[in-house]
Structure 1
Amino acid sequence: MTRVNWRKSTYSGGEAAQCVELASLDGSVGIRDSKNPHVPHITIGREALASLLDQIKSGHLNL
């Protein structure tokens, strides 16, 4: 079993911050809640993640 290296942004503001963590998986990216690391994560393709981030940064999503 390969150990997965979960990472969160240095901008997350410490341990109590509400943020997500990302991990590089075989050809995809895992996304999980940093406050609940033991619950299942979601997996998304790298291109889909890049598109999602572009939409968030450009303000096209109502978040």
Structure 2
Amino acid sequence: MNDKQPAESNWFKSSYSSGEGGACVEVATVETAVRVRDSKECAGPQLAFAPDAWTSFVNDIGRGRSN
């Protein structure tokens, strides 16, 4: 897995997130990975996923499949 950190400007929040803080995650893509972090802890730990695994996850959630 690529451990390169994305630039600050490459992170984005879901359109469902409000601008009021709360429980949000941010996502960024770098070369061969999709990285996820807590929007309240930008300097904190991140998860990294292979792009095909992330796509499968997002598609499953969109279809209402949670496990």
- Which range, TM-score by smaller chain? 0.7 to 0.9
Deviations 1:3-43 (A, max 9, x none): 52211123211141311101111211110010111111010
Distance 1:49 1:2, change over 3 A: closer
The alignment status of 1:25 with 2:25, answered yes or no, reads no
The one of 11, 27, 38 equivalent to 2:43 is 38
Deviation at 1:2, TM superposition (A): 7.2
Pairwise CA RMSD: 2.1
Partner residue in 2 for 1:16: 21
Aligned residues: 62
Structure scoring higher RCO (CA < 8 A, sep ≥ 6) equals 2
- Unaligned 5+ segments in structure 2 are none
Q: Give TM-score scaled by structure 2 length.
A: 0.76
Aligned sequence identity (%) = 37
Moved over 3 A (4+): none
The one of 47, 54, 58 equivalent to 1:53 is 58
- Unaligned 5+ segments in structure 1 are none
